[in-house]
């Protein structure tokens, strides 16, 4: 999973020829720790059909604000720079996996 910041966002996300799944997280977010292992498993299955990146919302406030984050973690699917879907408010691993299957 690629860590993206404000300096690399345009190149890695907006200009990506592949769909991009963004994992918005923060170090203080306990549920966020459940997301990374699930996303790593999914990345292994999808590669190279979709790029998965992570963005620390606390360190990249401009991006978090631009996408109107209300809660963390938030997962967002972008294709050709446009938001296609978002997942927020999940609490369990099974709920996350089901949402990702619908999304991808």
Mean pLDDT lowest among 8-17, 31-40, 51-60, 70-79: 31-40
Residues in a beta bridge with 3? 54
71-75 mean pLDDT: 92
Does residue 69 contact residue 10 with C-beta atoms inside 8 Å?
A: no
**Whole-number pLDDT of residue 91:** 65
Please name the helix (run of DSSP H) or strand (run of DSSP E) that holds residue 67, with its range, or none: none
Annotated catalytic, 50?
Answer: no
Residue with tokens 């631009």: 66
Q: Which of 2-6, 58-62, 82-86, 91-95 has the least mean pLDDT?
A: 91-95
CA 97, distance to chain mean position in Å, is 13
Average pLDDT over residues 85-92: 78
Domains by residue range for the chain, with CATH: 2-103 (3.40.30.10)
pLDDT digits (tens, 9 = 90+) for 2-16: 999 999 999 999 999
Average pLDDT over residues 35-44: 81
Point out the catalytic residue in the list 4, 13, 20, 32: 32
pLDDT > 70? residue 103? no
Check whether 55 has a pLDDT greater than 80. Answer: yes
29 classed as catalytic:
yes
CA quadruple 62, 83, 32, 72: dihedral positive or negative?
positive
Token pair 């994992």 is found at 23
Tell me the C-alpha to C-alpha distance, in Å, between residue 65 and each of 38, 58, 60, 92, 95.
Answer: 25, 10, 9, 25, 26
């Amino acid at each position: 999973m690629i860590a993206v910041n404000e300096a690399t966002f345009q190149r890695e996300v907006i200009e990506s020829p592949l769909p991009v799944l963004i994992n918005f997280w923060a170090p203080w977010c306990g549920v966020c720790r459940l997301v990374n292992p699930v996303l790593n498993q999914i990345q292994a299955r999808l590669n190279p059909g979709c790029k998965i990146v992570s963005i620390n919302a606390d360190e990249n406030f401009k991006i978090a604000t631009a996408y109107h984050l209300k809660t963390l973690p938030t997962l967002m699917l972008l294709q050709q720079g446009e938001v296609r879907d978002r997942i927020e408010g999940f609490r369990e691993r099974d709920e996350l996996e089901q949402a990702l299957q619908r999304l991808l």
